[in-house]
Homo-oligomer: A and B are copies of this chain.
Amino acid sequence: MNEKTRAEALLVLVEEKQYHQLLRVLDDMNAVDIAESLEELPFEKALLIYRMLKKDVSVDVFSEWPSDMQERIISSATDQELSVIIEQLYVDDAVDMIEELPAHVVKRVLRTANPDTRRLINQFLHYPEDSAGSIMTAEIMHLHRDMTVEQAIAYIRSIGIGKETVYWCYVTDPTRVLEGIVTVKDLIFAEPEELVGEIMDREFISARTTDDREEVISRMTRYDLPAMPVVDKENRLVGIVTIDDAVDVMEEEATEDFEKMAAILPSERPYLKTGVWTHAKNRVGWLLLLMLSSLITVKILSIYEAAFAAVPLLAFSLTMISGTGGNAGAQSSTTVIRGMTLGEIGTKDWLRVLWKEVRISILVGSALALINFARLMIGHSDQMMACIAIALSVLASVFLAKTIGGMLPILAKVLRLDPAVMATPLITTIVDASTTLVYFTIASLLLGISIS
């Protein structure tokens, strides 16, 4: 059953006031599905159903919603209802929400939160965007070195419910400095009287709050870690990044890269839920920039007007040559950008990348040049020099495109820019201009045409 039919079923039940049946249906539904169904309903009905949910379900539903829905719910909630929402939300979800809310709503939210929660939220709000601090969970299971395994398990039982990840326990000293990690697995397999300090793992990998979130996640996937502790400058434990946070971030980052590589400003919301104006705004800027930069190619064309007019074969082949160059360049830039994202290629590898692309481009370029030459000679054997010029230009543009395409993302990284921005469209524009120039230079030399 998809969200639409689910939503319709809920709507019928609430309109016919069959509340018993409604509660039974809601009981069988997952919070994710409830959240999506309620989004489809008229707001008044959604609010009515939302208020009928159990407290723990309602908070899960709430944290699934996009910020505009959250804002409407908050505006309709009493101070007491709002306080329940805030206290039940995980701090990182509360922070995500607050970052999207308008200022006057934020004020009301922080006013209704209790002082401890407010302090924690404020602390989280100060972590830089895209840092480990900004994605971590504050709810952690703390243990002490001197606890016995039996005491530790009893302690977990006494306070554990509600902690996002109960399986990873962190052993800290009285100043909250992280000393070791114990998993629930370790506790289960240890003898009850053993000390936590004896069985804890002291060789753990941790991250700093200010570390880049992508780097933290690539370390987690590299070492197959389901959770990574995050410490501050003084090595005090402040949170953990869990693998499901990591999964969300990975999808988000991949989407952002796809968008950047297609010359679109990254957007936060799914395609179908984004308005036409926002789509247009996110797309028009780069298109305009690329359009204007293609005028460089137009300028080059106008300089070589004479060669153009004299040999029509040359003019017609330009599309094919610059198209092939653009595609060849996109192949190299995409491969290198993806390799950099996955941590397989670093800036120090630039010479290896260059040397590889040089050899690849000679192989690929020669093959394409030969095929082209053969194809051209079939119909135009009387213009052999033009055919040679075109074939050589194919080789030259594949060579240029692949070396430029391979190097620009690395150059971007060195200049502390995002390599993904150096992708397909920008490379195509640069390659267009350079292949046109190379093509006409080769043609003028071989055919003895002088520039007008």
Residues of A within 8 A of B (CB): 28, 30, 32, 153, 156-157, 160-161, 166-167, 184-185, 188-189, 203, 221-224, 226, 243-244, 246-248, 250-251, 254-255, 257-259, 261-264, 270-272, 276-277, 279-280, 283-284, 286-288, 290-291, 294-295, 297-298, 301-302, 305, 308-309, 312, 315-320, 322-324, 326-328, 330-331, 333-339, 342, 344-345, 349, 352-353, 356, 359-360, 363-364, 367-368, 371-372, 394, 398, 424-425, 428-429, 432, 436
Given contacts A277-B363, A291-B324, contact A247 B223 (CB under 8 A): no
Q: How far is the CA of A188 from the CA of B153 in the complex (A)?
A: 8
Chain B contacts for A315, CB-based, 8 A:
301, 308, 315
Q: Which residues of B contact A166 (CB under 8 A)?
A: 185, 188
Q: Is the CB of B288 within 8 A of A28?
A: no
Max count, chain B CB within 10 A of own CB: residue among A189, A286, A364, A398: A364
When distances are taken between beta carbons in the complex, the residues of chain B under 8 Å from A319 are 294, 297-298, 301, 318, 322, 432, 436
By a CB distance below 8 angstroms, the chain B residues around A250 are: 247, 250-251, 254
Apart from A261-B334, A302-B312, what are 4 other A-B pairs with CB-CB below 8 Å?
Answer: A259-B338, A264-B331, A276-B356, A279-B356
Q: Report yes or no: A221 in contact with B203, Cβ–Cβ below 8 A.
A: no
- Expressed in whole angstroms, the minimum distance between the Cβ of A268 and any Cβ of chain B is 13
* Least CB distance, A75 to chain B, in whole angstroms: 27
Give min CB distance, A399 to chain B, whole Å. 13
Q: Write the nearest CB–CB distance from A156 to chain B, whole angstroms.
A: 6
Given the interface pairs A243-B247, A263-B327, A344-B272, the reply to whether A288 lies near B335 with Cβ below 8 Å is no
Q: Are B287 and A342 in contact (CB under 8 A)?
A: no
Q: Which listed residue, B323, B339, B371, touches A432 by the CB 8 Å rule?
A: B323
Q: How far is the CB of A340 from chain B (nearest CB, A)?
A: 9
> Which single member of B257, B290, B368 contacts A327 (CB below 8 Å)?
B290
Residues of chain B lying within 8 A (CB to CB) of residue A394 = 291
Of the candidates B247, B331, B372, the one whose C-beta lies within 8 Å of that of A247 is B247
Q: How far is the CA of A353 from the CA of B272 in the complex (A)?
A: 7
A262's partner among B188, B224, B286, B334 (CB-CB below 8 A) is B334
Chain B: CB-nearest residue to A297: B319
By a CB distance below 8 angstroms, the chain B residues around A344 are: 270-272
Q: Which residues of B contact A352 (CB under 8 A)?
A: 272
- Chain B residue nearest to A185 (CB atoms) is B166
Of the candidates A287, A317, A334, A432, the one having the most CB atoms from chain B within 10 angstroms of its own CB is A287
A190 to B106, CA, bound (A): 39
Q: Which of B188, B324, B333 contacts A156 (CB 8 A)?
A: B188
A-B contact pairs, 21 of them (CB 8 A): A184-B184, A221-B244, A221-B247, A221-B248, A226-B243, A226-B244, A243-B244, A250-B251, A255-B342, A258-B258, A264-B334, A271-B344, A271-B356, A291-B320, A294-B320, A297-B319, A298-B319, A302-B316, A305-B312, A327-B425, A424-B424
Which of B157, B189, B432 is within 8 Å of A189, CB to CB? B157
Whether B323 lies near A294 (C-beta < 8 A) is yes
Q: Give bound CA distance, A436 to B280, whole Å.
A: 24
B283 touches A360 (CB 8 A): yes
For the complex, give the distance between the alpha carbons of A358 and B371 in Å: 39
Residues of B within 8 A of A349 (CB): 272
